[in-house]
Structure 1
Amino acid sequence: MKEMKNRHPNRKCKHILVSILYVLCRKHNDPRTFAEICTAANVRKQEIGAYYRLVLKLLKTSTVGLRTVNIEECLQRWCSTMELPPLILPAAICVSRRAAELNLTQGKCAISLGAASIYLCCQTWSHVRIQKNCPINPLYDIWQSHKEIAMTAGVVTATLIGCYRLLRPHVHTLLPDWFLVAAASDLSQDPATRPVSK
């Protein structure tokens, strides 16, 4: 294909392979975000986008049959990567669902909302524990920086903070009640057993 030849495929072999990997992940029900694929392969996002469209043309594949990224799967991966306490994941899922239902982050992508949801949970948890003078517990004192969350999720730090600022005024609406109670308690109940709030 002339369009592919014009892009010098022999010099950009890595970019083409990464684009194919992105398509295959979506096709085989294990979708990843552009940011995750690019970070793993150490290539720029903009270059992958161009090759991704060309690969779709060459494979004569439409995006209709390709599975989209599930934000809840992303949240699970990110919380696991950052080794966050188990109760952060269900709380972040609840925040992202409620924020989407209330349309609080209009114009922001689901990835940014997911990252901001984790940051909101971490910040609120720490804030509540400080306010209540809870004893120091290395297993449950969460000091996750917005930079680390942004890097793990593959979003720009400024985008994460912007999305977080949209969520922050609605913190009591977005967070499940059990999360705030657990933050202020002695955490005698195992948080891993807590259900995901809908």
Structure 2
Amino acid sequence: MEENIGQRCPECGSGHLIRDYERGEVLCGDCGIVIEETSIDQGPEWRAFDSDQDEKRARTGSPMSFLSHDKGLATEISWSNRDYYGKRIPHKNRAQIYRVRKWHQRIRVSNASERNLSLALQLLNDDGSKLGIPKDIKESAALIYRKAVERNLIRGRSIESIVCAAIYAACRQVNIPRTLDEISKAADINKKKIGKAYRHLAKELKLNLKPTTPYSYVSQFCNKLNLDKDVIIKSEEIIRRVNETGISAGKGPTGVAAAAIYIAAIISGKPKTQKEISKVSGVTEVTIRNRYKEITGALDLNYE
């Protein structure tokens, strides 16, 4: 039975409703009136007690995915060398299965456009995994890349730069930004090319992304530095006070975030060197020192 299903009893106005799956009824837990009867069970008629049974008994495939050039709708031949019943395929038949699998993969890509899309999406998936980006953000990046292909924005530019620009844009959309240095290092491509490709995509696709703020980088940098929540809270408080003074205007958000973390770590008794913070944030030690002097001067702090 399921209680409190979000409706109200028409007789007494109570919100304490119970759905009885055995009888197919919805009744009030207070006055007992039957509100609905002979309701249809929308679930499957079979039961599964583990993931293997659930997979075998389900009659639907996996959901669509923009990370595959055919959106995951085409069938695939597994490389496990086992048949439908889980039995191993005899050695005398494996060469034949290998040829079938090879030709099946070839016919899934029918032309050069699909081949390039397949290559780009594989590259996007690999770079996203190196950056530790969750699947939903990679899906968003793949959708941005597909829109770029439809608008013919790839012509004259490298696939790698457009892929990295799509990842950068997708991360900014959900306010979990990755710096250009991080993406450049993961994809082994010049960050100036990524920035140029991103500006091109943002203009042509009208992405209208808001500028990043120092708050967006604090948790990410602190996690990499193994700093706890106390340092994160103090860093965000410092950034809030810095924004109120206006000294952060025109300054890079990563530099402000790095300097705030540097100060907050000292206050919390868990200091990190400027070199350690520079390595994680991609901001030079000179910039961290300059932001540190500006912040401590404006907030009347002195931690050396």
Short-chain TM bin: 0.5 to 0.7
The question of whether the paired residues in 2 share the 8 Å contact of 1:39 and 1:154 is answered with: no
Partner of residue 99 from structure 1, selected from 228, 238, 242? 242
Partner of residue 215 from structure 2, selected from 50, 60, 72? 72
1:53–1:113 CA distance, 2 compared to 1 (3 A): same
Instruction: Using the aligned pairs only, state the percent identity.
Output: 24
- How many residues get paired? 153
Corresponding residue for residue 285 of structure 2? 157
Partner letter of residue 151 of structure 1? Answer: K
Matches within 5 A, 1:1-198: 5-6=155-156, 9=157, 12-57=158-203, 60-64=204-208, 66-126=209-269, 142-170=270-298
Instruction: Calculate the aligned-residue CA RMSD, in Å.
Output: 2.9
Partner letter of residue 108 of structure 1? Answer: K
- The TM-score normalised by the length of structure 2 is 0.44
Which protein has the bigger strand share? 2
In 2: Cα distance, 1:174 partner to 1:62 partner: 44
SS in 2 for 1:87: helix
In 2: Cα distance, 1:29 partner to 1:125 partner: 27
In 1: Cα distance, 2:152 partner to 2:216 partner: 38
Which protein has the bigger helix share? 1
Q: CA deviation at 1:3?
A: 8.3
Structure 2 stretches of 5 or more lacking a match?
1-150
1:24–1:160 CA distance, 2 compared to 1 (3 A): same
Task: Kindly name which structure, 1 or 2, has the bigger radius of gyration based on alpha carbons.
Answer: 2
Structure 1 stretches of 5 or more lacking a match?
127-141, 176-198
Between 1 and 2, higher relative CO (CA 8 Å, sep ≥ 6) is seen in: 1
SS in 1 for 2:247: coil
1:39–1:96 CA distance, 2 compared to 1 (3 A): farther
